Copies of this chain bind each other. A is one copy, B any other.
Amino acid sequence: MQQPIAILDSGVGGLTVVKEVMRQLPREKIIYFGDTARTPYGPRPAEEVTRFTREIVDYLIQYRPKMIVIACNTATAVALEDIQSRVIIPVVGVIYPGARAANSSTQTGVVGVIGTEGTIRSGAYEHALKHLSPTIDVISLACPRFVPLVEQGNFRSEETFETVRASLQPLKSDKLDTLILGCTHYPFLVETIAEVMGKDVNLISSDGETAREVSTILQDRNRLQQGEAVPVHQFFCSGDPVMFKRITQQWLGEQIELMPIVWQVPKIG
């Protein structure tokens, strides 16, 4: 039996990581949990986010995953080490992949980070960047209005553009050449963010970078899937499955329509 990669998020943001894992590792089976009943995690206290993350991991572990991806920056910032200490399989967050890519990309040494209040307050990106390169400068900005737009499926409206433009204003005058989209929801807004920041700023998305690190780590541990079998993915959510399924299909597009998928709404928490 093929052991899956478990990917979890506060809602639909982690689907950006799912899409990249599907693209970069098409042989791998994915089980996904979106905690749509309790999204967003950003404004919640750290203890609560840690408890929610534990509950989801406890649920997913019954499917015997070979790896857990915490595809949520808020949960990564506050709960990654806790989860790593509780399971024996590798647990990957989305913060170090983005930090490593930014560290590799920046020429000026000035890196911006946008994220939820919880992520920014935790200082997790700044810690990760300085852990890798002590001399790097980090400018952090919370953008609490972005996640609700994405969870409503509101990716490209006039309202969205205005919200993004106004929110990112404080970063426009700085000398940063690299901006980390420090929330897995933000790739849904990437075109708008690129338009606002201009082409001289390199945008780093957690999604593709995290998928690459998943690939690297599975290979180092000799756990990449072999063979030609088509994986059957499974998607779980804790809230309204109609909305969740609609956004999932909209985001994953053709990829998901060609695949056999199991949808479930387990009771959790």
Measured CB to CB, the residues of A under 8 A from B are: 20, 24-27, 90, 92, 96-97, 100-101, 103-104, 131-135, 208, 211-213, 215-217, 219-220, 224, 228
Contacts and interface: CB of A to CB of B under 8 A. Distances in A.
A96 B219 contact: yes
A96 B213 CA distance: 12
Nearest to A228: B134
Given A24-B103, A103-B24, A132 B220 contact: no
Given A104-B212, A217-B220, 10 more contacts: A24-B103, A24-B132, A25-B132, A26-B134, A26-B135, A100-B215, A213-B216, A216-B216, A216-B217, A220-B220
A24 B216 contact: no
27 contacts: A20-B104, A24-B100, A24-B103, A24-B104, A24-B132, A25-B132, A26-B133, A26-B134, A26-B135, A27-B134, A92-B220, A96-B216, A97-B216, A100-B212, A100-B215, A100-B216, A101-B212, A104-B208, A104-B211, A104-B212, A131-B224, A134-B228, A213-B216, A216-B217, A217-B217, A217-B220, A220-B220
